[in-house]
Chain A
Amino acid sequence: MIDIADLDFAYPRGGFRLDVPRLTIERGARVAVVGSSGTGKTTLLNLVAGLQVAARGHVTVDGQNLSALSDTQRRAFRARRIGFIFQNFALMDYLNARENVLYPYRIAPGLVLDDAVRARAEALATACGIEDRLDRHPGALSQGEQQRVAICRALVTRPGLILADEATGNLDPHTKTLILDLLFERAAEAGATILAVTHDHALLPRFDRVIDFSELRRAA
């Protein structure tokens, strides 16, 4: 569950201010965040991920108040509890698909790469239909395949929350549907909450809830 209350965030250099009085998202919900550019959708994802910390108010994810954690604790929490999916896939060109899926275990603190994790990665790849692409590097994969790899990477740590920032923005309409189906199925299996920023209004009916950020946000 995500609970945001009395959130007041401003970038140090000023100019932009995000003020969210109250936002609650239930566990396992599939939530889309929409709104025009510059309204702070990505900033919200960063705050929920603990990448940025608000000066006032609190962001609680799965009962953990992120503001109360140190930087190291927030990193560890993020590594274990949150999965990311990016619009540009953000795969490492020098690693094959298998190693991209396992990437969090190579760089995040507290995650141990063992046989069970490798087996889980293989199972995820099979479920996403890329089991025969695991030895290929991103450059040798289609965009749809690259996003499948990114989904596997986001899910391999069994996170409770998946943050997707324009996850289908670079895909053709058919692939968008397939990838979204795949993401919803896998997240449902894991019992994970999905918080997805999107500009694609055609996809909104597929979400449990749509938050129009322009309305939610109160400009200072």
Chain B
Amino acid sequence: MNAAFLAFAHLRWHWARSVVMVLVAAVILAVPLVSQTLLRGSEQSLTARADATPLVLGARGSQIDLVMGALYFGEDRAQPVTMKAAEAVWESDLALPIPLNTMFTASGARIVGTTLDYFSFRGLEIAQGRRFAVLGEAVLGASVARRLNLSPGDTIVSAPENLFDLDGVYPLEMTVTGVLAPTGTPDDEAVLTDVKTTWVIAGIGHGHQDVVAEGDDPVTASAALEQYNRITPDNIDSFHFHGAPEDYPLTAVLIEPYDTRSETILRGRYLEPENPLQLVVPSDVVDRLVERIFRIAALLDAVAGLVGLAAAAAVALALFLAWRLRAPELDTARRIGAGRGMILRLAGAEIAILLGAALLMAQGIVIVVQSRSNTLLTWLIAQ
């Protein structure tokens, strides 16, 4: 008890040094725990979403990019495909195709253009408001709504893709009609809207004043022609699309086969290497990815272990030097009557207090990481 009292008094008096040692020790302890937490979490998060997605159709190329873009709305996407690919699946009567267009963002969140089938496919529930119904409406993921402090009735604007491209993508102000209940998946970080709305953002569809107006002062097709950047009940009828609908772009198509036989038939149709489309099983792709991640993680763990060992040695050296500096104090204690056991108890108490505080802090770090792991993992996986 006396050793603990003296050790605590000493550490408190030299609080700056104590704080640094506790912080270093806490980081040494927390890093492997946090990395394991995130690794296990990312494995679960990746595999759970992949297992819940039977097939993904997209452009031939990187299977990882295709799956990461379609499931986790990642930055790296596969080459776009067209609506024709989705329609072909629909017409085959073997599966339900759910188109996805994830080319655009709004306030840092990925805009996911899709159909209402996506809600039932992912089991998404509306916490506030309703689903999107017409062009220009959007449903926010729980994290996006919380971060941007938005609720039904508010608006969210798509990000301009290129400020200097006057003929390119213009921001579209979308009306928020609903907010999803939290799911702990990338849907929390998404802005869900009708796929046609994303085509409006892409400039394929637009609305403007009628160029053939009635009366004496007709509007002509010139720079004075007003382009709408918000879809309202008053101007929605002026919105129209150019080109053939089957050529409209998608980033991927989620496929939900009606049965095992249908899945087998469907997969057979995309086996030829000449086919510009590929149909992948996300769980297979993710399993290979996880295997790679864990191989790299094992290497990183070894490196982290060495770094931790070096840091622990530095902390031990700091403690040793601190004790050397206390030689006069220990000599006084010895003269007054303290034995070697008491000196060892003093040193032990200091180390125990420092380690205890570091353990508590490390545990705190792990708890914070665990409590935010869903958001953190969604962000990490989407990057």
Chain A positions within 8 Å of B, measured between CB atoms, are 49, 51, 71-72, 75-76, 78-80, 84, 86, 88, 90, 92-95, 99, 103-109, 111, 113, 137
CB distance from A158 to the nearest CB of B (A): 14
Given contacts A107-B2, A107-B6, contact A51 B335 (CB under 8 A): yes
Tell whether, in the assembled complex, residue B336 and residue A104 are in contact, meaning their CB atoms are under 8 Å apart. yes
Residue of B at shortest CB range from A84?
B335
> CB < 8 Å: which of B13, B335, B346 contacts A93?
B13
Inside 8 A of B334's CB, which chain A residues have their CB? 51
The 3 A-B pairs at the shortest CB distance, nearest first, are namely A79-B337, A94-B13, A108-B337
Residue numbers in A under 8 Å from B336 (CB-CB): 78-79, 84, 103-104, 107-108
Smallest CB–CB gap between A151 and chain B, Å? 14
Q: Please judge, given known A-B contacts A90-B328, A92-B329, A106-B2, whether A72 and B339 are in contact too, CB under 8 Å.
A: yes
User: Contacts A90-B328, A92-B329, A94-B14; is A107 near B337 (CB within 8 Å)?
Assistant: yes
Chosen A-B contacts, 19 in total, with CB atoms closer than 8 Å, are A49-B335, A72-B339, A75-B337, A79-B336, A79-B337, A80-B337, A84-B332, A86-B332, A90-B332, A94-B12, A94-B14, A95-B6, A103-B336, A104-B336, A106-B5, A107-B337, A107-B342, A108-B337, A108-B338
Chain B residues within 8 Å of A86, by CB: 332
Q: Counting chain B CB atoms within 10 Å of each CB, which of A71, A90, A99, A137 scores highest?
A: A90
Closest A-chain residue to B329, C-beta based? A92
A213 vs chain B, min Cβ distance (A): 20
Query: Counting CB contacts under 8 A, is B372 at the interface?
Result: no
Q: Per-residue 0/1 for B2-20: is the Cβ within 8 Å of any A Cβ (1 yes, 0 no)? A: 1001100110111000000
Give 1 or 0 for each of B332-368: 1 = CB within 8 Å of chain A CB: 1111111100100010000000000000000000000
Q: CA–CA, A88 to B332, complex, Å?
A: 11
Cα distance A195–B332 in the bound complex, in angstroms: 18
List, in ascending order, chain A residues with CB within 8 A of B14's CB: 94
> Do A75 and B338 touch (CB < 8 A)?
yes
Which residues of B are found within 8 Å of A105, using beta-carbon distances?
A: 2
Contact A109 B5 (CB under 8 A): no
Establish whether residues B9 and A75, one from each chain, have CB atoms under 8 Å apart when the complex forms. Answer: no
Hey, which bits of chain B sit against chain A, CB under 8 A?
2, 5-6, 9-10, 12-14, 328-329, 332-339, 342, 346
Q: Determine which of B2, B9, B339 lies in contact with A94 in the assembled complex, contact meaning CB atoms within 8 Å.
A: B9
Residue of A nearest to B337 (CB): A79
Asked if B13 and A78 sit within 8 Å, CB to CB, the answer is no
Task: State how many angstroms separate the Cβ of B129 from the closest Cβ of chain A.
Answer: 61
With known contacts A86-B332, A92-B329, A109–B339 Cβ distance under 8 A: yes
**Also in contact, A106 and B6, with CB within 8 A (given A90-B328, A94-B13, A94-B14):** yes
Tell me the nearest residue of chain B to A72, going by C-beta: B339
Which chain B positions have C-beta within 8 A of A103?
333, 336
CA of A22 to CA of B71 in the docked complex: distance in angstroms?
Answer: 96
Residues of A within 8 A of B332 (CB): 84, 86, 90, 92
Least Cβ–Cβ distance between B339 and chain A, in angstroms: 5
What is the distance, in angstroms, from B233's C-beta to the closest C-beta of chain A? Answer: 75
- Report Cα–Cα, A86/B12, bound state, in Å: 26
- List B contacts of A94 (CB < 8 A): 9-10, 12-14
Q: Assess the B338–A107 pair: CB atoms within 8 A.
A: yes
**Could you say which of B10, B12, B333 contacts A107, with CB atoms under 8 Å apart?**
B333
Q: What is the minimal beta-carbon distance from B133 to any residue of chain A, in angstroms?
A: 70
A72 to B342, CA, bound (A): 12
Closest-by-CB residue of B relative to A139 is B13
Assembly CA distance A46 to B136 (angstroms) = 92
Tell whether A99 pairs with B9 under 8 Å between CB atoms, given A92-B329, A107-B2, A107-B342: yes
Tell me the complex Cα distance, A84–B185, Å.
70
CB < 8 Å neighbour of B337 from A88, A95, A109, A113:
A109
Which single residue of chain A is at the shortest CB-CB distance from B346? A107
Most chain A CB inside 10 Å of its own CB: which residue of B14, B329, B335, B339? B335
Which residues of chain B come closer than 8 Å to A49, judged between CB atoms? 335
Give bound CA distance, A220 to B339, whole Å. Answer: 33
A134 → chain B closest CB, angstroms? 15
Tell me the complex Cα distance, A109–B336, Å: 10
